[in-house]
Structure 1
């Protein structure tokens, strides 16, 4: 049986995992859950089954999940790191592995800031403030990338998958946000030109517009 990735039918926290699975070339199935309509956005499609799958620490927030035989994982970072070890995406040297870890945490911080904006505070004023702060983060990442192809090593690592997704969602929010960072723009194109990623992006299963769940104030794909 092929592995199963369970998540809401959005990009969200699962998109870097999907990209790693596509890059790894191993088949997988997806189990999509859907929230009900406003105003309640009922999540019983997930809560009614979450304790039946043998997952560790099942709770409302434990999506995505990943099941591959005896391997049953929750928490997006744990899933990514498992796949990173499987597909040799964690870096080779101790220095590279440390940088992968740091950049993955940076990617999580970027995701949290984006989520707060989209789900909680979205307005023209807060968007402007968010984008101003984003430029500071992007400048630091641009400096780290320099003239390298990838962020943490001479070959692609988990950090690149996670950071690409943060660049993608922020480009949807503001298509000009990378204009001051030509090397980061080149990184985005380089990632999208990876044959497996390019094939995924042109496939029917690729989720393009639904960045967030339907209760968000931005990025719901509507």
Structure 2
């Protein structure tokens, strides 16, 4: 019986990186759909009034990146070396610098804001490309960490919005292809459940 329960909406959104981490590492978990009666039943119980929420036994973990770090520390996916940990953390924070404007564009200004958002991507993704070249590793650190799932999820989401966004970034594209070809992730992403899952809650992507 799983000790992990992920409470989230039936969409990729902020919960998908956690699903990737679970699936890729063969970690059993259950998922609870909080879309039904969110306002009355679920939201008041959330520490910050938001989902996802991870239940680790009796312990509750909120905030998507905190969930990822918590799981990383528990399952050998958070670097023990301080410099390696800093690399994972800085990429995670930079992903958030991209994801935040993406979410605002999707939910608040899709029609008028999409083109302007897409124009920011070569520079922002280029920073990650340059770091991958500098560090010379297949993953963000010397072995896969929680941050790789966060970055992979972002790149996947962005390629749905603008399919060629990493074509001119060969090192980043190689990273994406490497993640997508990991056996457990590949099998999971080929399921109908995954293919039918919306990226965002308003149908825009």
Give TM-score, length-normalised by structure 1.
0.84
SS in 1 for 2:41: coil
Q: Distance in 1 between matches of 2:130 and 2:11?
A: 31
Aligned match of 1:212: 200
Aligned match of 2:138: 149
Q: CA deviation at 1:9?
A: 0.6
- CA 1:170 to 1:208, structure 2 compared with 1: closer, same or farther past 3 Å? farther
Aligned match of 1:116: 104
Aligned equivalent of 1:90, options 58, 70, 78: 78
Deviant stretches of 4+, over 4 Å = none
Q: Distance in 2 between matches of 1:93 and 1:15?
A: 26
Equivalent residues of 2:180, 2:186 under 8 A apart: yes
Which is richer in helix?
2
Q: CA deviation at 1:52?
A: 7.8
- Structure 1 gaps of 5+ residues are 35-43
Q: Distance in 2 between matches of 1:51 and 1:212?
A: 18
Equivalent residues of 2:9, 2:33 under 8 A apart: yes
1:180 maps onto 2:168 in alignment: yes
Deviations for 1:120-143, whole angstroms, at most 9, x for unmatched residues?
1112x5222211111101111100
Q: Distance in 1 between matches of 2:43 and 2:139?
A: 39
- Structure 2 gaps of 5+ residues are none
1:8 maps onto 2:6 in alignment: no
Give TM-score, length-normalised by structure 2.
0.90
Equivalent residues of 1:11, 1:207 under 8 A apart: no
